[in-house]
Amino acid sequence: MTQVDVLLGLQWGDEGKGKIVDVLSPQYDLIARFQGGPNAGHTLEFDGKKFVLNTIPSGIFNEKTMNLIGNGVVIDPIILKRELDNLKKAGHDPVAAGKLVLARKAHLILPTHQLLDAANEQKMGAGKIGSTLKGIGPTYMDKTGRNGLRVGDTTLPDFAARYAKLVEKHKEILSHYEFEYDLTEKEAAFFEAIEFIKTIPHVDSEHFVNGYLKAGKKVLAEGAQGTLLDVDFGSYPFVTSSNTTTAGACTGLGIAPNKVGDVYGIFKAYCTRVGGGPFPTELDNEIGETLRQVGHEFGATTGRARRCGWIDLPALKYAIMLNGVTELIMMKADVLDGFDTIYACTHYEYNGETIDYMPYDIISIQPKPVLTAIAGWKTDLTKITSTDQIPSQLSAYIAFLEKELEVPIKFLSVGPDRTQTLTLR
Ligand code: GDP
Ligand code: IMO
Ligand code: MG
């Protein structure tokens, strides 16, 4: 019997998960998304083309790989339909090719979930989470509150009545906000999209994935968001509403913990965050602006400017521990090409002490990063194609990170294209 490998983000999302899942997908029979929803934006580039996926797993461009949207994912039928329509226009039709299946137990995002998200954020004003406003929080609230609608419900004869009952509840809540809305258009699009998603095969993800394992096939679970946005372990309340960590792959697909194999932890050679919340190594200055411009750090889903800063090792160590990371993947090293010196945060100064872990409260008391200087490589990495072309300063940075993090770096990414990926080990 095989095991499920997991690939997930170790920072605040947008580490480059989509690119690497695409690169690895030829080695896997099944790619499975296990949490989050269309708050995610996973970018892939190959043959001069660029795709951004929100709900669909990043394995769809590989001919032989099956893709599953797992039970832990929340699905906006309108966005899923739009994603598939756009792919079709670009010559890719994973539904027709029989390469996409949907978990019956995945919860549905209703148009009113998005309204609730927006009304809530509007009310919070300056203290808002900075949600992507895709309705993620309210949908997971209905899931745990035992009110939600699931993909499997769409085939029941009373689906419209169930929908109406939940929308009634949402309208009641919305009446307590000063929030104007018009549902008519969205509702029509929702029901049209529901008809469409009925054409995608529905499966029980727990049986589906375990069936693959029993047959000795290889499965990769694709995370969304990042560890520091995990609802339990992230910078709460500035988090998303799902478990973005390895444990989330178990509940989000229906696999037992002893079925988890390799855990690929992916991180940028620096750090970014989009939305509100603490960010100890943030560079709210010219250096941060340089990282943003060179790294094109603007959200794949919302277009918002991402906040940028130096790599944060206490945060990475925390993420590695939580996820049981067995291999690291370093992304976007090329973005640092122009710097004479780069920096890594090794400790925090916090409450008069020097500490090397993330303390409970990083919101009211901001940790001050203790930085170590590292020589830059001043080389165009985007053109390198083999490990013997890696400049010595970058090799030293990699060795420094491996020593600090105590996990080997397996892949190094030096550009957004599929081909700009080096295998170090
Ligand atoms: P994801 O959400 O983790 O899949 O990451 P995103 O797609 O939101 O953001 C990563 C961005 O960086 C995308 O625009 C990618 O095309 C780009 N990217 C990925 N790897 C590299 C790399 O090694 N170098 C550069 N310069 N860009 C990269
Ligand atoms: P991928 O998968 C980066 C952030 C939002 C906000 C917080 C809560 O592309 O890495 P939500 O919409 O979940 O209520 O937003 O989480 N966020 C992400 N940041 N990448 C993502 O996904 C994100 N998904 C949510 O910006 O701060
Ligand atoms: Mg993203």
- In this predicted model, what pLDDT tens digit does every residue of 273-305 receive, in sequence order? 999 999 999 999 999 999 999 999 998 888 899
Selecting among 42, 107, 113, 347, the annotated active-site residue is 42
- The DSSP symbol for 109 reads P
Q: Output the pTM of the full model.
A: 0.98
CA of 223 to the centre of ligand 1 (A): 15
- Please tell me if the CB atom of residue 414 comes closer than 6 angstroms to any atom of ligand 2: no
Residue 133 Cα: closest atom of ligand 2: 12
> What gap in Å lies between CA 221 and CA 71, rounded to an integer?
12
Q: Quote the tokens at residue 103.
A: 């978990």
The whole-number pLDDT of residue 222 equals: 98
Above pLDDT 90, what percent of the chain?
Answer: 98
CA of 41 to the centre of ligand 1 (A): 10
- Please tell me if the CB atom of residue 225 comes closer than 6 angstroms to any atom of ligand 2: yes
The whole-number pLDDT of residue 136 equals: 98
Residue 333 Cα: closest atom of ligand 1: 23
Q: Give me the mean pLDDT over the 326-355 stretch.
A: 97
Q: Render pLDDT for 159-202 as a digit per residue (tens, 0 to 9).
A: 999 999 999 999 999 999 999 999 999 999 999 999 999 999 99
Bridge partners (DSSP) listed for residue 106: none
Residue pair 21/34 in contact by the 8 Å Cβ criterion? no
Verify whether residue 117 is a known catalytic residue: no
Confidence at 5, pLDDT banded by 50, 70, 90: very high
Cβ-Cβ contacts under 8 Å for 384 (sequence gap 6 or more): 390, 414, 422
CA of 57 to the centre of ligand 1 (A): 16
> What gap in Å lies between CA 377 and CA 342, rounded to an integer?
9
- Please tell me if the CB atom of residue 13 comes closer than 6 angstroms to any atom of ligand 2: yes
